[in-house]
Structure 1
Amino acid sequence: MPTSDHDLTAILADDHRDLARFCTELELDQGSPENRKELADHLIAQFVQHLVAEDLPRPGDDHDEVDDVMRRLADTGPQQPQFETLLGAFIQTVRSHVDESGPAALQQIQSSCSPDRLRHLGKAVRQSRDRARSVPHPAVSDRVAPKSVLRRGSGIVDRARSAASQSLPQDEQHH
């Protein structure tokens, strides 16, 4: 089914596959430290976009703990000793979401929303993500779709959350 026909649950399921793929790439521990940092920043942006979309039909989820890890990782250079520790913790969080809480959330969303509502939310997420497009960094351009890359560096969590939610209709925003 083409992405344009996807409802919110299909988009979120696609996100889960993409998140798992980037975790695997980072777990393979290949590439320069700078490349790993680029991939880590991309994973942060993707995960934030995913959480914003997942929260649309069920506001109120608390992401403070994962936000803290993402912020610390985004602010840590690839040569700093704590980079790999923070990256490992973040990958574990993403894997846990993809493998455990994510599928349960998808079932809850699907059972609590009408098909029309799911299509409407899916369209809002696609439009929001299209408006948040940017040019990928050369280090990840061969593996990352341009629409999903956000500027790296300090504040990436806030920029990703803002970009993912700012163009959603007012009644769709919960953060």
Structure 2
Amino acid sequence: MTNPQTATGEDVVDVLTADHREVEMLFVELESRQGTPEHRRQLADVVIAELVRHSIAEEAYVYPTARKALPDGDQVADHEISEHADAERTMKELESVDPSDPRFDQLLSHLTSTIRHHIQDEESDLFPRLRAAVAREEMVELAGKVQAAKKSAPTRPHPAAPDRPPANKLLAPGAGLVDRLRDALSGRPTSMEKLREKQR
């Protein structure tokens, strides 16, 4: 069976950069402060779910690759994981704050600046270096692994969860299953598709 990434030639950087663009669009919409408080809450939930899935996939596959392929890979990976941890603590707080509370916009502002800095770091430094150091076939294979990890990853922040293999790879699918059950029961949207369906 052909891996869809192999057929399209997308590598892991293409997949992660597309995630970055999607999150940025959500940030811009949230920053516009348009829509009802309920809509803003749902947009924040989608952002949180997207960021958690993205982070889990990076921690499981991208950062271990950086550790092996780059001379300073350990420092790079540790720095990125530390930024994820900061963002995850902010998302955990944001998850329980009502959009009409002034703290909602304060937390959102902290989250957007943290994530934008993180994206800038990755796209200007880590991603080009990975492309230079890792064989194209492996980068394409990593795209498939990242996409698969995102499908079973948690959709809610778990700041105390392990962020390195092998523990994160073992525990993330179970936490993801529990999160998806909670999302289904509560009607919490975790993607733009689900949010649009809910609005119909």
How does the TM-score come out when normalised to structure 1? 0.69
Post-superposition offset of 1:131: 4.4
Partner of 2:189: none
Q: Does structure 2 conserve the Cα–Cα contact (< 8 Å) formed by 1:57 and 1:113? A: no
- The residue type equivalent to 1:31 in the other structure is G
Q: Does 1:109 pair with 2:130?
A: yes
CA offsets 1:49-83 (integer angstroms, 9 cap, x no match) = 22233332324422322221111111212232311
Q: Does structure 1 conserve the Cα–Cα contact (< 8 Å) formed by 2:11 and 2:142? A: yes
Q: Which moved more, 1:102-111 or 1:66-75?
A: 102-111
* Cα distance in 1 between the residues matched to 2:148 and 2:62: 17
Post-superposition offset of 1:25: 0.9
Q: Which has the larger radius of gyration?
A: 2
Partner of 1:144: none
* Residues 1:120 and 1:166: Cα distance change in structure 2 (over 3 Å): farther
Which of 11, 14, 24 matches 1:20? 24
Partner of 2:72: none
Which of 77, 85, 88 matches 1:64? 85
* Cα distance in 2 between the residues matched to 1:112 and 1:45: 30
* 5+ residue gaps, structure 2: 65-77, 175-200
Q: Does structure 1 conserve the Cα–Cα contact (< 8 Å) formed by 2:152 and 2:173? A: no
Q: Percent identity?
A: 26
Which of 62, 85, 97 matches 1:76? 97
* Cα distance in 2 between the residues matched to 1:46 and 1:19: 7
In the comparison of the two structures, how many residue pairs are matched?
143
- 3-state SS of 1:30 partner: coil
The ranges of structure 1 where at least 4 consecutive aligned residues each deviate by more than 6 angstroms after the TM superposition are: 161-164
Q: Does structure 2 conserve the Cα–Cα contact (< 8 Å) formed by 1:23 and 1:95? A: no
- The residue type equivalent to 2:136 in the other structure is P
Partner of 2:173: 166
* Cα distance in 2 between the residues matched to 1:40 and 1:8: 25
Q: Does structure 1 conserve the Cα–Cα contact (< 8 Å) formed by 2:54 and 2:150? A: no
* Residues 1:45 and 1:34: Cα distance change in structure 2 (over 3 Å): same
* Residues 1:111 and 1:165: Cα distance change in structure 2 (over 3 Å): farther
* Residues 1:130 and 1:53: Cα distance change in structure 2 (over 3 Å): closer
Matches within 5 A, 1:30-69: 30-55=34-59, 56-59=61-64, 60=78, 61-62=81-82, 63-69=84-90
Higher helix content, 1 or 2:
2
Q: Does 1:89 pair with 2:110?
A: yes
